[in-house]
Structure 1
Amino acid sequence: MLLKPSGSFLSFDSGPLQARIYQATGHIELAGPDLAGNPLANVITYAPPSITVPGGAINLGQVQSSTALADGLEVVQSAGASNITAHLTFPHDGVMRYEVVDWRGLAPTQVTLTAFSDAGEHFYGFGEKFNAFDQSGDTVDILTFDNPGNKGDHSYKVSPWFVSTRGYGFHWDSSAESRFDMRAGAADRYVITSRFPQLQFNVVYGPKLTDVLTRYTGYAGRPPLSPPWSFGVWISSDIWRSGGEVRYAVTKFRQQNIPVSGFVFDSPWEVAYNDFTFNQAQFAQGGTFEGVNFAGFATTKEMLEFLRSEGLKVICWMTPLVNTSSDSDGVPGQNLGKAANYDEGANNNFFVRSAPGGPPLVVPWWKGHGSPVDFTNPAAAKWLSDQLHALVTSSETVTASGGSEPVIGGFKTDDGESGNGANTYIPATAAYADGRRGVEMQNGYCVEYHKTIGSVLGANGVLFARSGFTGSQAFPGCWAGDNEPNFGDGNGLPSVIVAGQSAAMSGFSIWGHDVGGYQNTNFSPVSPPQLFMRWTQFGCFTPLMQMHRQVNPADLRQYPWGYGAPALENYRFFASLHLQLFPYLYTYAKESSDTGLPIIRPLVLLHQDDPQTFPVKHTYCFGNELLVAPVIQPTPAGQPTTRSLYLPEGQWRDFWTQEQHAGQQTIAWTSGNPQQFPLFVREGAIVPMLLNVPQTLCDANYVNNPAIQTMDAGLQFLVYPSDAAPASSFTLYEGTEVTCQGNSGAPILTLTSNTPRPVVWKILGAAPANGVTRDGAALNEQALAAAFDAATEGWRHDAGFTFVKFNHAGGFTRIAL
């Protein structure tokens, strides 16, 4: 195939971009400025698309005629002895689209697109990929699939989308299965193939990769800003065997002073799958744990009120399948026959059909047999939504203000993939109300699923989805599925770090994982407690933090206290730090909602001009100010932890020691403290944190219990003045603005906020030679920590930081050191 075009072309411009189609050959190009701003210097070229028809392969070639459109061109192209009609347009800012709109009688069985690519081009994205971050040289199959073991190329969340280091993104706009050969078959090209008669794709331009993601999510979808509590720490377990176990778990978390904001009811919690009725027989039971008996709950309402009074919102697990029969989970009260709501769904044609006009599709899945709801049928979507609305309404509780608010604040939307092992959940023959067949819905079904469930609570709640496709990123959030508790690249901690970054490059921002690994198999042979500690540290620096695993009656490894005292203290510390970082995290969550940029930011996303960032897969930025490099190998007993990592451009400070490191180099980080890992702060950074760590991020009005400490207005600002960049700033999600001007010797800090609040500044640098002033008035130095803590305002210097505290009355204030 001829990769490079020749001859004349038709073109049209959209701002600094130019779309081209070559008249003689049908090559398609997008040209735009490079990173230096040189106009039309960066050109992405696609060979003429190819189709397979019963008679063989045909290239879509010579342009026979063209007609101007409002946003581009309509072209008639030769296709063997026939012609096709295609549109080449700019439907969105920075997005070029090619689409065949009329096959003129041709019936393709396969469509293929090929582009020139050399060894210097690297590719990221494709959904949530566990096997590799940079997919250059690999073949990627775009098919949602539940694979609990070593993932390989299998993914719960996939997207026919990638981001290229050449400054563009590519989106194959089809929900049918496709395959991306990213220079695996030939060293000079990538090839996209789909066995579905649809040819439409978008090329999303940058040239900055951050602009690529912003433009892509601008049309594919961005997450709304989820409620604050969802960014707290969640309690979860594969099964709550009784109400006593619910009471035990919550009581123990509070006794251990671990801040938690969410409680997940995973399966089983219903009478039958999925009838959305709490199994009260299950939760009425008490239980004995660690030698202590914990009572069950007389009613579901009592249980939900207990969780609310402990400062917790509830997330209810579900799948899109309503069962005809269910496997026993060993708890009383289960209906193992047909779910109570099944017949209503079947009689009203609310389920996916096995074939057009056929009976409801019934599939085997890991909880029995059931029928998937057809979310493309508006009546079916409403039917399921109404049941969830009723469940949410039944959980309403009285707030401190005398109003009401539901305890249920989210749904864990499990499943939605095409299959699992030998089980096929979405066969090609399946028929949907909107006319689509299983071929398209193997990837597209989960989006309809998430859209329906996401509409129940909207921005007042959260999803926790396992499956995903293009569009799912607009329904926050998601998690990385089933992983093993080990350091393995196949399905352990390192693979999950890769998955989080691949998901980020695919537009998924509100993302989490099962801290410690979900599965009760293939435990780390070196030290399960050490693995749990390292996974916890990673969990602190992901948007959603929850521990979740399968239950083994012989141990307590579904709880942080099941791994010994050091691991428990490590979990307590990082759970508290995760909450303390809430103002920082929530600010970047808002940015994701506004711009589509992910919270987890791979180094290549922020530093695409540095080729040394291209292969980095276990180090990332959390927002712009923090650089995170989780420990991905076990540390031998009695030896310090070492970790080699690359620092990108800039100056960086070790979070634990404040040691300075220049960027654009690989360093060897070492520490003898297992509660530390490579964590760096960019010089010039301002990191807003909560001044006081609450027990929950649920608000006081909802919790309605003064015994549970909720979030107050107090803020602490970590400031790392930079001599290289003497001015820096940070604007919080609620509008508070902070700035730092001047170098590390004598910085000037400003705070602008309409909210009265206590404030503490923690500023790295030498002790102020002339004291500290606030709006020109000297503040008293407090030499002792106890005196500083007791004072309402003042300053002190300790361990390389100057601490400044005062009560901010609102408005503008200036601090000079």
Structure 2
Amino acid sequence: MKKLLLLTISILICVSMSAQNPPITPAWAFEHVAWEDSINTADGAKALVDGYLERNIPVGAVIIDSPWSTTYNDFNWDTQRYSDPKDMINYFKSKDVKVLLWLTGAVNIKCKDTRFQKSDTYDEVVSKGYGINQGKPHVWWKGEGVHIDFTNKEAVAWWYKQLDKVFIDGVYGWKVDQGEFWFGDILDTSIGQMSNEQFRPYYYDAMYDYTVKKNPQGIIIARPYSHQGGYAASVEKMNMGWCGDFSGDWKGLKLQIQNIYQSAKRGYGSPGCEVAGFFMKRSNKEQFVRYAQFGCMTACMINGGENGAFSNHLPWWHGTDVENIYRYCVVLHDELIPYLFSTVVDAHLHGGSLIKNASYEEESHQVGDYLFTKAITSADNRVSFHLPSEGEWINFYDGTKYAPGSLIEEVYALERFPLFVKAGAILPLNVTSGLTGLGDASMVGRKTIMIYPNGTATRQLHLPCGDGIEYEDCLVTYDEKTGKLKVSSGTSQKYTFILKNMPSVKKVKNVASWKYNAEKQELRIDVEGSTLDIEIR
């Protein structure tokens, strides 16, 4: 009877969770994340980030993984590894790189790989009843300890005070890892017995609540769905997903794709990709590239791990050609951040995920409503897949148009992957260079919006106001027949509009400047204002 009751409650919780909408992911959190979990020192973290930046590969954040503390989890920096944590954090801050710290919810009496064994807070946790299972220690993958009872409000308040020791300026969140999974299928908590699955949201929710209260731009990177235990964080309280852990070979990539699609199906807003996996087999050149290409069509490229962090995980380790491909993927993803952000705001308001219309069989998905991609998951670069059954689709690289549901059979060179844009797309972008061909450096500081005309197209965009979760609505409408482009937003902005597939343009009215490229059949318009009524002839 008890097991039946627990199962019933678990099902009700699952239904409740799936009915919730995801939170808004801060704009910065879509940026490339470097993950240092090999050397585990300040010098190692700096070398990793600088290696990317010196090669003009953008980095938005760095994960400082375990062990960074003297025990698990005492939140005391190990100064033998990180001699001056504030100096390191300020070093990254000077480069506009945000710091994320690893943790779990356990407090240990024995540790696997830290400087000390017993946490200086262990006895307090046990004596005050802050742990699950009556404070009995249990073996988990980082040693032996007690897991904090996140159903206990006093225990949560105490935990928050521990977090305060390290959540300082420059630290923007946590890689919230899995510890609770090891403490039994049925757990004793302050509110009674519950399944491990029922307990997980208390842990992840507490971490999310603390983080966004302290810093509205903060995030937790946590597991949405994972083959290592099922669902973890709550849909409505997880602003960046990481399904880990995976191997770096084709098998790992294929498994991760399935995990990400399962997460999206559940309604997690921003599932990201662990590029080249984390452990076991290392990526070879082809596997690394295909991992990166798939990753740049998810919420975030998170690259690092113990399977070759300073070898196979580094694009330049595989050669200049791979370095260039990886740079392209990161920059393309960065340019798409306004679109990714706007799509996740839609998911927050109405439900859903950044990853849509996923096909488990063909390993393909839409990114929002307007982009479609197919992962390449074998050494054979020949792929066969179907485009979505709704709308006309345009090859991102050469502009070839395809009917709905078309079968694509093609061989993709290593530097290319299947990427299509839906006709009628209105894509907000952040273009800062000419690397991807979407624009050039003259667009820096401007709101760039790319339009693929198809009859009358209208889109309510949610454009980010800075790096956080604040946004401004902007309604864009383009009527291909009349040539009228209308924009309505709350404040005056500097816009650059790029209209694709324009056979001819003779005149453009009510703009600051315009330029038509007959060879590319592309029109660029520069204009400033809040309410725009542009005529194209």
TM, length-normalised to structure 2:
0.89
1:596 aligns with 2:333: no
Separation (CA, whole Å) in 2 of partners of 1:434 and 1:670: 57
Shift of 1:220: 4.1
Contact (CA 8 Å) 1:237, 1:551: kept in 2 or not?
no
In structure 1, the partner of 2:314 is 559
User: Structure 1 residues 691 and 558 mapped into 2: Cα distance closer, same or farther (>3 Å)?
Assistant: closer
Q: Which amino acid aligns with 1:480?
A: C
Q: Give the secondary structure class of the aligned counterpart of 1:258.
A: coil
In structure 1, the partner of 2:467 is none
Shift of 1:813: 3.5
Match of 1:540 among 296, 302, 307: 296
Shift of 1:202: 9.2
Q: Which amino acid aligns with 1:441?
A: S
Match of 1:577 among 313, 316, 332: 332
In structure 1, the partner of 2:10 is 175
Contact (CA 8 Å) 2:224, 2:235: kept in 1 or not?
no
Q: Give the secondary structure class of the aligned counterpart of 1:691.
A: coil
Instruction: Please state which structure has a larger fraction of its residues in helix.
Output: 2
Match of 1:475 among 237, 251, 254: 237
1:410 aligns with 2:173: yes
1:92-130, Cα deviation, whole Å (9 max, x unpaired): xxxxxxxxxxxxxxx47648xxxxxxxxxxxxxxxxxxx
1:812 aligns with 2:537: no
Answer with 1 or 2: which has the greater Rg.
Answer: 1
Separation (CA, whole Å) in 2 of partners of 1:311 and 1:719: 31
Shift of 1:520: 3.6
In the TM superposition, what are the counterparts of 1:318-717 in structure 2 within 5 Å?
A: 318-328=103-113, 334-335=115-116, 337-353=117-133, 358=134, 360-392=135-167, 395=168, 406-419=169-182, 425-428=183-186, 430-436=187-193, 440-458=194-212, 459-466=216-223, 469=231, 472-476=234-238, 477-488=240-251, 492-521=252-281, 523=282, 528-552=284-308, 556-603=311-358, 616-635=361-380, 641-647=381-387, 648-671=389-412, 673-692=413-432, 713-717=445-449
> Which consecutive residues of structure 1, in runs of 5 or more, have no partner in the other structure?
1-106, 112-159, 161-171, 177-199, 204-215, 285-298, 396-405, 420-424, 604-612, 636-640, 696-708, 778-791
Shift of 1:173: 5.2
User: Structure 1 residues 411 and 739 mapped into 2: Cα distance closer, same or farther (>3 Å)?
Assistant: same
Q: Which amino acid aligns with 1:345?
A: V
Contact (CA 8 Å) 1:239, 1:268: kept in 2 or not?
no
Shift of 1:664: 2.2
In the TM superposition, what are the counterparts of 1:217-296 in structure 2 within 5 Å?
A: 220-284=19-83
Separation (CA, whole Å) in 1 of partners of 2:305 and 2:514: 47
Q: Which amino acid aligns with 2:382?
A: T
Shift of 1:656: 0.7
1:386-444, Cα deviation, whole Å (9 max, x unpaired): 2113321xx2xxxxxxxxxx21111111014533xxxxx2253x4211112xxx33212
User: Structure 1 residues 238 and 472 mapped into 2: Cα distance closer, same or farther (>3 Å)?
Assistant: same
User: Structure 1 residues 736 and 621 mapped into 2: Cα distance closer, same or farther (>3 Å)?
Assistant: same
Q: Give the secondary structure class of the aligned counterpart of 1:814.
A: strand
User: Structure 1 residues 441 and 381 mapped into 2: Cα distance closer, same or farther (>3 Å)?
Assistant: farther
Separation (CA, whole Å) in 2 of partners of 1:236 and 1:735: 34
Contact (CA 8 Å) 2:362, 2:374: kept in 1 or not?
no
TM, length-normalised to structure 1:
0.59
Q: Give the secondary structure class of the aligned counterpart of 1:752.
A: strand
Q: Give the secondary structure class of the aligned counterpart of 1:735.
A: strand
Shift of 1:806: 1.7
Separation (CA, whole Å) in 2 of partners of 1:582 and 1:173: 40
Q: Which amino acid aligns with 2:317?
A: G
Shift of 1:762: 2.1
Shift of 1:229: 1.2
Contact (CA 8 Å) 2:13, 2:198: kept in 1 or not?
no
Contact (CA 8 Å) 1:498, 1:617: kept in 2 or not?
no
Q: Which amino acid aligns with 2:145?
A: G
Q: Which amino acid aligns with 1:339?
A: S
Separation (CA, whole Å) in 2 of partners of 1:540 and 1:238: 21
Greater RCO (Cα-Cα under 8 Å, separation 6 or more): 2
Separation (CA, whole Å) in 2 of partners of 1:662 and 1:545: 31
Match of 1:772 among 496, 500, 507: 507
Shift of 1:175: 2.5
1:604-653, Cα deviation, whole Å (9 max, x unpaired): xxxxxxxxx7x645111110001111112213xxxxx3211111222110
Shift of 1:265: 0.7
Contact (CA 8 Å) 2:67, 2:113: kept in 1 or not?
no
Q: Give the secondary structure class of the aligned counterpart of 2:272.
A: strand
Shift of 1:566: 1.4
